[in-house]
Amino acid sequence: MEDKMVPNIVVGRLPLYLRTLQLMNQEGRRVTSSQELGERLGISAAQIRKDLSQFGEFGKQGTGYNIDFLTDKLRHILHVFKVWDVAVVGIGDVGHALARYQGFANRGFRIVLLFDNSPAKVGKLVDNFIIQDLSSMVAQIRGAGVQIAMLSVPVDQAQVVTNQLVEAGVKSILNYAPINITVPSGVRVQYIDPVLHLQRMTYYLE
Amino acid sequence: MEDKMVPNIVVGRLPLYLRTLQLMNQEGRRVTSSQELGERLGISAAQIRKDLSQFGEFGKQGTGYNIDFLTDKLRHILHVFKVWDVAVVGIGDVGHALARYQGFANRGFRIVLLFDNSPAKVGKLVDNFIIQDLSSMVAQIRGAGVQIAMLSVPVDQAQVVTNQLVEAGVKSILNYAPINITVPSGVRVQYIDPVLHLQRMTYYLE
């Protein structure tokens, strides 16, 4: 209930906290503080305490945060204690890299379906997964109950494929095509476009 | 001068406006409005007018924005009227996809240098570029005056390679390794980690 009140910008910082805690855990660490988290992330300690306080009382004054405990809490809050099945649509270079990406492990996601519309690609294996024909996508995603897709198709196909993903029941789309897509309410989109990040930095370069 | 006063969050929206204007231009459009831009981007028209007004007077009341004119202005503001040379460090699947990515064209960037430390990769071609040995990176980047790098090395090498990039004179790093890196002031870092975006959406999924 109360979670509905949490601003989206706060939700957006929680995965950063979780990633940092998981890295600390791999380093063999047991306890951290909002100060240390803040230094690693370039976010103020006060902001981190305020963000986390929206979800409960996770640390003790003076003793900091237990890393395992806070990791578990954040995994629950972000719904990544379970592993979500993900479809990748468009198996060019980017889709191929996503299909083979090792960084999903232990973070709540696994690729289970790959789609492309190229006869040269359909039927081929990427790691253990067969690239399947885009024409079968809606039925397969619906049948498997997959709710998350990563979209790496050409710009001119992005909206059409998005409409099909929505029809198939997908609720979350991570769009790698450098174009804004339109979805009905109840479906969320996030964007990855390296040029947006690069231009944000060249602004400060001479 | 006054540009230094513009909040980073405003700077971060300018590339979105530029991308949308360039797509409108490809559609053969000549004029747009803050309303239309806002609808395409999910940003309020008032916010867009306020953001742009920080840099000058780009539209006329009632007639909207000339797309070519505003595109040119934004390309100047973001310093992407020129084409920036970019190095890619770490040619695994992600680095390979970046090296071949078609989305940089006409947006201010071109890949010119590729580096990896694997003997099996060094000397191989990706498109027209030879993968060069990481040990030569500092000298080559410095020699070429490259100021922008995309980092797609494993997590445990990210900080070491970052230190070398800084030593070589790189001022902007787009980091694909899922770990926060530390840089001295005067160097900027942006991050791309698909899991952060996915977790930001699973928060809202049951």
What tens digit of pLDDT does each residue of A119-129 get? 999 999 998 89
For residue A195, the chain B residue with the least C-alpha distance is: B104
Give the residue-averaged pLDDT of B25-43: 91
Q: What percent of chain B has pLDDT over 70?
A: 98
Closest CA to B205 of A13, A187, A118: A187
Residue B108 above 90 pLDDT? yes
**ipTM for the whole complex:** 0.94
Rounded distance between C-alpha atoms, residue A153 and residue A159, angstroms: 10
pLDDT (tens digit per residue) in A74-104: 999 999 999 999 999 999 999 999 999 988 9
Query: Considering CB atoms only, which of A11, A193, A202 is closest to B172?
Result: A202
Q: What is the per-residue pLDDT for A138?
A: 98
Cβ count near B139 (within 10 Å):
10
Domains and CATH numbers, chain B: 2-77 (1.10.10.10), 84-196 (3.40.50.720)
Q: What integer best gives the mean pLDDT of chain B?
A: 93
Rounded distance between C-alpha atoms, residue B49 and residue B123, angstroms: 50
The pTM of the full predicted model, rounded to 2 decimals, is 0.89
Residue B66 above 90 pLDDT? yes
Give the residue-averaged pLDDT of B157-182: 96
Q: Which residue has the tokens 């649509």?
A: A89
- A77 Cα to chain B: minimum distance (Å): 7
Give contacts of A79 with chain B, Cβ < 8 Å. 202-203, 205-206
Q: Is B179 on the interface with A (CB under 8 A)?
A: yes
Q: Chain A neighbours among B 80-119 (CB < 8 Å)?
A: 80, 84, 86, 93-94, 96-98, 100-101, 103-104, 107-109
pLDDT (tens digit per residue) in A22-35: 999 999 999 999 99
Q: Is B174 on the interface with A (CB under 8 A)?
A: yes
pLDDT (tens digit per residue) in A117-164: 999 999 999 988 999 999 999 999 999 999 999 999 999 999 999 999
Mutate to test the interface with B, among A10, A203, A205, A206 (most CBs of B within 10 A): A203
Q: Do A11 and B86 touch (CB under 8 A)?
A: no
Tokens of A17: 């906290």
